[in-house]
Every structure is written in C-alpha cells, then in structure tokens.
Amino acid sequence: MFIDRVKIRVRGGNGGNGVTAFRREKFVPRGGPSGGDGGRGGDVWIVADASLNTLLHLRYNPLHIAERGRHGEGSNCSGREGEDVIVRVPVGTQIFDSTSGEFLQDLAADGSRWLAAKGGRGGFGNAHFATSTNRAPRYHQSGSAGEALELQLELKLLADVGLVGFPNAGKSTLISTISAAKPKIADYPFTTLEPHLGVVDLGDFRTFVVADIPGLIEGAHEGAGLGDRFLRHVERTKLLLHLVDVSSGSGREPVNDYLIVNHELSAYNPALANRPQIVVATKIDALDDPARLESLRQKAELDGLPFYAISAVTNQGTKELVAAIAAKLDELSIADEQCDTIELIS
C-alpha cells in the first residue's frame, strides 16, 4: 500500500534529576556534597532512507518517544544519557508542523537527517552548587522535559520524468513498456490509484526515473478525481511527459485535453507551467481520424514544445521518445551545472 501522508507525534526524553547526597567515609568527617547530575534525555531524529518508498510503516506507529535520562547518584556519579530514537522516512519527505502548517524541513537526499525533538537537560546534583560559602547545599535540580511536537509528513516522489495526462491516456502502458515497472493496466478510468516509479535503462550505466501518477481531470487542483492528493508528486520532476490520447475511443478532443491538464498543473503550482514538457500523442495504433493527431501536433508546435506520436502497445515511436527524453535530461543537467558554477563564482 502506498501511503504518502501521515501524522506522527515525537517527544524527546526527559532529563534525569540531580540528587542530594553527601560523602560518608570512615576518617572523613566532612566529606561534603557528592550528588551527581542527571543524564540528558534522548533526541528524536528523522532520517531519509533510500530503501523506503512509502510512509506506511508510520501510519500504525505514530508515537515516537526517546528514552529519558537516568537520575544522578551519590559519589558524584552522573546519570546515563537517554538513547536517541531514529524515525526513518523515504527520501523526498517534507515535514510540517501539524498545528500551524509551518514548513520545517525537506529531506531530499539519502541520509539527510533532522532533529525533530530535543531531549531535556539533566538536572544538577547538590555537588554542583557547592561554593566556599555554601559548602553543604541540601538541594538539587530536576531535569527538564523533552520537546514535544505533532508533525505532518508528506512524501513527494523524486523522479526525473513525470507522466501526466487524463485517465486512460496510456501512462501505465508506457511506463511498463520502457521500464520494468508493472502497474495495473485496464480500460477504465483511474486504473492507477497510486504513483508508480520505473527506472529506464539507457545502457552504459545510464538510467533515468519515471513517475506515473494517477490521471488528472478538470478541477484536479481543487481535489476533483484523485486531485491534489498526487499532483505534488510531479513538483520535483525535471521534465513533464504530457500524454494525450488521440484515438476516437476516448470520446474527448485531444487539444482540449491538452489545455485542461496544463491549466490544472499551473493552477496547482504556477512553477509547473514553466517546467520543460514533451507532448506525446498516444494510441496512434487506434487512430482513425488523422486530423485529431495533426491538431494536437500544431498546438504543441505553436506552444514551442517537442511533439512525439507513439503506440506503447506496438512500441511504435517509443525508442525515439526515450532517446529524446534522455537528450533533454542531459541538456537540463548541463544547464543546472552551469547555474551552480555561476553562483559559486559570484
């Protein structure tokens, strides 16, 4: 089961109390205070782990409390510190304050970690308060409580290419053809109920990752259909592959579908309107009206976007499309490197 949004509660361990004690040994009539300090409470860390791809393990385990610090002891013995708690999440998880909605952290790299709840400080024992004028203090300090937060975790998949389009536009068929991913494929709307990732092997140890998200319909940015529940998964992609069904069996106009999906993307996040995009006409093996294909081609050319016509079922045009995707990703990588170089120089 793919779970991409959960709430969890985290709490750092309480600090241990200090202790009031005095040294009592034979032939040492004035041993003085010997109460040790309490140990510090453990912290709660959230760590990105590339071996995970869902937040399912946190849905039924929402409470994470670090160990408390041990109390101090006599003979100036300090209490042991509490053990930290590690909460592992998939790479690409964003963390928000559940109460205020404030964005706190984005764990976008494997191994990145964030201190979610700090443990409480251990209290001082009476030995800590001894001075030249107060040689026998009879008081100690209690440990402080650990931090407590309720967090909203949201997963945004990390992929190079995001497949977008209406339901039954052929997204699942395409990803199953060009990668080893095996999503459910059927001839009814919303066959895909959760995102799927596929790795496309280009040879020579070169690959790119494709994300297939559930189909979009008009009003998706407001929650229509599966709506904004999965739209956020295309926000991290470098390139959008916009699939449009040009067969007559869809009962819709290709250009209208193209305009609706682009409107939903920009309405959800204006930055998506400027994301590099390749327009792909699908199901050309079932094309019975060439005018439908040509109208979409002309619209894509008018918008200055690359256009490809494919049939994922017969593999017609898929090799050319994969090569075009790889070339575009290389171009985007070079542009990113140049931007990083300019920033370092400036």
DSSP 88-148: EEETTEEEEETTT--EEEEE-STT-EEEEEPPPPPPPPGGGG--SS-SS-----PPPPPPE
Q: Give CA–CA dist 300/307, Å, rounded.
A: 6
pTM above 0.75, yes or no: no
DSSP state of 330: H
Domain boundary (155, 174, 204) is at: 155
Q: How confident is the model at residue 188, as a pLDDT?
A: 41
Structure tokens that stand for 203 in this block:
């040879």
Q: Measure the CA angle with vertex 183, ends 328 and 232; round to 5°.
A: 60
Q: Do 165 and 133 share a structural domain?
A: no
State whether 81 and 171 are in the same domain. no
303 shares its domain with 187: yes
CA-to-CA dists, residue 47 to 200, 337, 345, angstroms: 27, 27, 32
The strands making up 113-117's β-sheet, listed across from edge to edge, are: 85-90, 44-49, 113-117
Q: How many domains does the chain have?
A: 2
Please identify every stretch of the chain with a pLDDT value under 50, giving residue numbers as ranges. Answer: 186, 188-192, 220-221, 223-225, 227
pLDDT of residue 226: 52
- Looking at the fold, whether 108 and 182 belong to one and the same domain comes out as no
Does residue 239 sit in the same domain as residue 315?
yes
- Residue 70 sits in the same domain as residue 172: no
On whether both 313 and 170 belong to a single domain, the answer is yes
Q: With beta carbons less than 8 A apart as the criterion, state whether 154 and 104 touch.
A: no
Assess whether 227 and 282 both reside in one domain: yes
At 2 the three-state DSSP class reads coil
Same structural domain for residues 127 and 170?
A: no
The answer on 47 and 180 residing in a single domain is no
Q: What pLDDT does residue 107 have?
A: 92
Q: Among 102, 125, 155, give the residue marking a domain's end.
A: 155
Q: How far out from the chain centre does Cα 337 lie? A: 24
Residue 272: its pLDDT value, please? Answer: 83
Structural domain harbouring 142: 5-155
Q: What is the pLDDT of residue 346?
A: 54
Confidence at residue 338, expressed as pLDDT on a 0 to 100 scale: 63
Q: Which two tokens stand for residue 89?
A: 């999440």
Shared domain for 125 and 89, answered yes or no, is yes
Residues 101 and 189 grouped into a single domain: no
The whole-angstrom separation of Cα 6 and Cα 93 is: 11
DSSP state of 83: P
Q: How many residues in the chain? A: 346
Cα 22 from Cα 34, distance rounded (Å):
5
Instruction: Return the CATH number at 176.
Output: 3.40.50.300
Residue with tokens 């053990």: 83
